[in-house]
Amino acid sequence: DAGVTQSPTHLIKTRGQHVTLRCSPISGHKSVSWYQQVLGQGPQFIFQYYEKEERGRGNFPDRFSARQFPNYSSELNVNALLLGDSALYLCASSLGDSSNEKLFFGSGTQLSVL
Amino acid sequence: KQEVTQIPAALSVPEGENLVLNCSFTDSAIYNLQWFRQDPGKGLTSLLLIQSSQREQTSGRLNASLDKSSGRSTLYIAASQPGDSATYLCAVEGNTPLVFGKGTRLSVIA
């Protein structure tokens, strides 16, 4: 069975541009979460979606948005990129949205903003 | 606001040694504590999940304990191997989604 897949694996953008990151969860998983991991730090929660509805949002500006599609895949969009948005963006999926759910992470998208 | 701290930030040990990684958190109102492994530039692999009602979990050479009242957890790795070299992250889930520590970077020298 395929794990969580993310695309692209690497991306280089310039300041002010827009970026879309994609995530496909494990088959049967209905919840997708997004995390930002800056070099040397732990991942920081951005969004959670379950059954196409936003269930949680971290402390990120409105430049960050996301959505989940009927097939449970998800997109993370970032507008007006800043140098500080350079990071590894991780997607995680789980069966449901209750506590104590085991999370399965993808390998991430490494975003560099120049 | 929940804060998670991991000590030490980095650790280098010879192969075969037993070792302990530490994690502390400020808010004891948690649902669970999880330990993850991360290889360089890669995603996270879940190692152990300890629910708030549990005291410890074991998987192979790994044992994680949880003392919720004192806000502490330890990850014990027995008979370390070079393949254990990675960053180990601790995370807690409470009224907010997972809050991670910065991790402990472990190097096991053959």
Q: Which of residues 60-99 of A touch B (CB under 8 A)?
A: 88, 90, 92, 99
What average pLDDT does this structure show over A58-64?
96
Candidates B32, B92, B78, B84; CA nearest to B56 is B32
| A48 in contact with chain B, both atoms CB, cutoff 8 A | yes
The residue in chain B having the minimum alpha-carbon distance to the alpha carbon of residue A10 is B41
Residue with the bigger pLDDT between A100 and A89: it is A89
Q: Phi-psi bin for A107: left (phi > 0), alpha (psi -120 to 50), beta?
A: alpha
List residues of B whose CB lies inside 8 A of any A CB. Answer: 4, 31-32, 34, 36, 41-46, 49, 51, 89, 91, 93, 96-103
Question: Using one digit for the tens of pLDDT, what is the confidence trace for B22-75?
Answer: 999 999 999 999 999 999 888 899 999 999 999 999 999 999 999 999 999 999
In the predicted structure, residue B6 carries a pLDDT above the cut 90? yes
pLDDT at A98: 77
Could you tell me the pLDDT band of residue A2, with boundaries at 50, 70 and 90?
confident
Q: How far apart are CA B23 and CA B88, in angstroms?
A: 10
Taken in order A22, A49, A34, A79, the sign of the CA dihedral is positive
In the predicted structure, residue A63 carries a pLDDT above the cut 70? yes
Q: B19: burial class by Cβ within 10 Å (0-12, 13-18, 19+)?
A: middle
pLDDT at B96: 80
List, in order, residues 6 or more apart from A59 with CB less than 8 Å away.
none
Could you tell me the pLDDT band of residue B95, with boundaries at 50, 70 and 90?
confident
Question: Using one digit for the tens of pLDDT, what is the confidence trace for A11-45?
Answer: 999 999 999 999 999 999 999 999 999 999 999 99
Q: How far apart are CA A27 and CA A25, in angstroms?
A: 6
Q: How far is A22 from chain B (nearest CA, A)?
A: 15
Amino acid code (one letter) for B99:
V
Task: Indicate the SS3 state at residue A79.
Answer: coil
Taken in order A87, A88, A89, A95, the sign of the CA dihedral is negative
In the predicted structure, residue A70 carries a pLDDT above the cut 70? yes
Cβ-based contacts of B44 with chain A (< 8 Å): 43, 90, 92, 103, 105
What average pLDDT does this structure show over B12-20?
97
How many other β-carbons are positioned within 10 Å of the β-carbon of residue A68?
23
pLDDT at A1: 59
